[in-house]
Amino acid sequence: MNRYKDFLHALKKSAQHANRKIEDIELIAVSKKKAAADIKHVINDGHLSFGENQIQEIERKWPSLKKDNKNIILHFIGSIQSRKVVSIHQNCNVIHSIDRMKIVKLFSEIEKEKNLPRKYFIQINTGNESQKSGVLLRDAERFIEKCMSNYSLDIIGLMCLPPIDQDPRHHFLKLRDLGKNFNLSQLSMGMSGDYQIALECGATHIRIGTHIFGERN
């Protein structure tokens, strides 16, 4: 049984159902807590886009994996601590979880110093959950405006993690509408349990772990 190939088949069907082109959707294989050997199987099947949420795990696993596979795109999808910004910038191609002005400034300074641009999503806390990362909805427009006006980061879109006890569609549509206000067409939303709904709502990047790698220990 090949979970990855099975999921690709299911994804193509879901994209058709949502009237979406599969080429417009980036599948991020979320490999957190998975061994390098498991990841290599998916790389060998031709997949190059992966997501992790802990920089320590990235530092441990990915230098050797990327050394052997130069075209891998690594996405950072976890909450960002300021003392980890340098390593996140060094190791990751796309950062999905910008949510504080301090972090924006740090990435901006590093990019100028290293002359190494990355791509960024702003994480929006669409459910205004106090325990969750992301810019609160009431502050979102002001935050996005400030990021795009005052800093030269390549902000390509918005990301969200809907509350687990609410209909995700409501949150995905909120994110889509907010993105439209700023011509941000890239939307990082949808995981193993709700990616079909995310596709219907315009997701361009879906973050899939369980369907590709199986349950985590």
**Band of residue 1 on the pLDDT scale cut at 50, 70, 90:** low
pLDDT at 156 over 90: yes
Q: Looking up tokens 């641009």, which residue turns up?
A: 117
| Per-residue pLDDT tens digits for 115-147 | 999 999 999 999 999 889 999 999 999 999 999
pLDDT confidence of residue 103: 97
Give the whole-angstrom CA distance, residue 20 versus residue 12: 9
Mean pLDDT of the chain: 95
| Per-residue pLDDT tens digits for 175-214 | 999 999 999 999 999 999 999 999 999 999 999 999 999 8
pLDDT confidence of residue 85: 97
How many distinct helices (H) and strands (E) make up the chain? Answer: 9, 9
Q: Which CATH class is domain 3-213?
A: alpha beta
pLDDT confidence of residue 216: 74
- Give helix 168-181 / helix 137-150 axis angle, nearest 10°: 30
| Per-residue pLDDT tens digits for 17-38 | 999 999 999 999 999 999 999 9
Q: How far is CA 188 from CA 22, 156, 207, in A?
A: 15, 10, 8
Q: What's the average model confidence in pLDDT over 47-70?
A: 95
Token representation of residue 100: 């504080």
Contact indicator for 43, 35 with CB cutoff of 8 Å? no
pLDDT confidence of residue 145: 97
Q: How far is CA 49 from CA 136, 147, 150, in A?
A: 28, 26, 30
